Amino acid sequence: MIPATLGHYRIVRSIGVGGMGEVFMADDSKLGRRVALKILPGALASDPERRGRFEREARAVAALNHPNIITIYSVEEQDTVLFLTMELVEGKTLADLLPRQGMPIEQVLQVAIPLADAIGAAHQRGITHRDLKPANVMVSDEGRVKVLDFGLAKLRDESTADVLTTSMARDRLTVEGRIMGTVAYMSPEQAGGGEVGPSSDIFSFGILAYELLTGELPFKGQGPAAVIGAILSGRHMPISDLRRGLPGGLAAVVERCLEKEPRARFQSGKDLARALRRGLAGSEIVAVVEKADSDDPARIDAPAARQQEIRFCTTSDGVSLAYSTLGAGPFIVRVLGHFTHLEMEWEWPDLRRFWEHLAERHTVVRYDGRGMGLSDPYTGDFTEETRQLDLEAVLTAVGAENTALLGISEGGWTAATYATQHTERITHLILYGAYCRGAQARPGYDAEEDRALVTLIRKGWGRDTPAFRQVFTSQFFRPDADPGLLAHFNELQRVSADAETAARYHESCHKRGDGRDLYRQLRIPTLVVHSRDDLAVSADEGRLLASLIPGAQLVLLPSGTHYFPSSTEVVTKAAGAIARFLHGSGR
């Protein structure tokens, strides 16, 4: 029996039972407030495993400070009773609130986005919840979402706890013959007793979101064993088939959470929250693009709102790459290594309009190279060989036997290399902001300045600081550029790669020498597009490219940015020039 009082806490009533013990409402007579007490039963307090898990919960939750995560006040023991004192949240759990047919989309998002933010904050602190389910998510009477019960949380870094450094105690929080967590919401790796990390929470979130939107679980079976079998198979009815009219962006987010392979899911709650916000925005955006001149035979009218489809493929050396497709028709494959993040690029209005323009008559394929954006992290050397492997993997994945390559910036070199080696597969080559001489081979190269820039990248990558912006960002934009554009560019830097990867990639590009002989070998229709006042790669490089490639066309754009379109005028001119080139030339 639990006594009526525990020290200065007066028990009011029981309010629930969790995996770690019973929870009571109590009055704190010292501070004059009402709290929640989670009590580990005395019979189990002496069990080293149960007590250890209880104390892990305390450390996990105490390390967090987030408005959507229950606040822990203290860990106490009174008369051999071990308990936590926590914030009291009065309201209902999602299990209580969930209607049989699912919730309205607006209500789901009011829960899903704060929930993703909460687990994202936990993931940033190295904490995996491991038991996300409707009963562990509460909506307070004021409408605030609160994540409960970190009783199964696993600290990724417990280096301060000596006991956990021994092989005997590296337990994965499982017991022989028993898997921790609620079966219906487990990830495949958790159900299989494997290593569990943040992506496991993402899978559980996907199940929860699926249920909130449809009223049904994606993985079902007669009994726990059958449910685990369904989860391990990965087969389920697509959410868009079960709930008609669901915005494509939102459906794509849920389905990605439910990917069987952990690396194919969002890798943290923060990434998931960002994608949810984008998915919601994407379902409502209608692109408005100025039309080209009415007498332009290749003009493209303002396209209707579109959604890219993101998938994953694997290179021959085992690297998982993210790629997207948009539109229908002959293939155009974007080749670019730096500053790529399929989702973040989609949020850049003018850049999105550019792709939507091209997708009116083509299937536009874009991909994040190894180490970039949504693709696998990469610690190896960046070489032309690895870039060719990435491009080949994407072309194979989409089945592009006859395609145009759009090589942007340093990607122009990769596109040109592929085109010379696979003339039977490439119909057209478009080089946008490209060059034939690496930085070290161009006039005016300053090795000391370049080394300083690499150091600055390692220290300031993605930070919105005046020093970094002045030295790095100013290479791409004029000082009077739209502040919102600069802010988006800085965020794109941050999410496209970590600082070390960005520095190594930068070094690999600048080590390129004189490639004029490569471009002289090209024998396919080629269009060279360059910004007239390009701050990163001089327009002289574009002119040189056009002079080297037999029959190449040259278009100079009224812009001072590198390739990032900064106005509707630039989008219209660039897309129009490419459309005229593709439909006015052939092989």
Q: Which of 28, 47, 131, 540 is catalytic?
A: 131
131 is catalytic: yes
Cα–chain center distance at 238 = 21
Nearest to 40 by CA among 32, 49, 31: 49
Rg (alpha carbons) of the chain, rounded to whole number: 28
Contact 467, 456 (CB under 8 A): yes
Please report how the helices 411-421 and 384-398 are oriented relative to each other, as an axis angle in degrees rounded to 10: 70
Identify whether the C-beta of residue 262 lies closer than 8 Å to the C-beta of residue 200: yes
Q: How many CB atoms neighbour CB 251 within 10 A?
A: 21
Residues 6+ apart with CB under 8 A from 61: 69, 70, 71, 72, 84, 86, 150, 153
The first and second tokens of residue 418, run together, are: 């592929």
Give CA–CA dist 104/22, Å, rounded. 33
Q: Give 345-350's long-range contacts (Cβ < 8 A, gap of 24+).
A: 345/492, 346/278, 346/282, 346/308, 347/278, 347/281, 347/488, 348/488, 348/492, 348/564, 349/287, 350/564, 350/565, 350/566, 350/567, 350/568, 350/570, 350/571
CA dihedral 497, 501, 502, 504 (to 10 degrees): -160
Q: State how far Cα 414 lies from the chain centre.
A: 25
Active site residues: 131
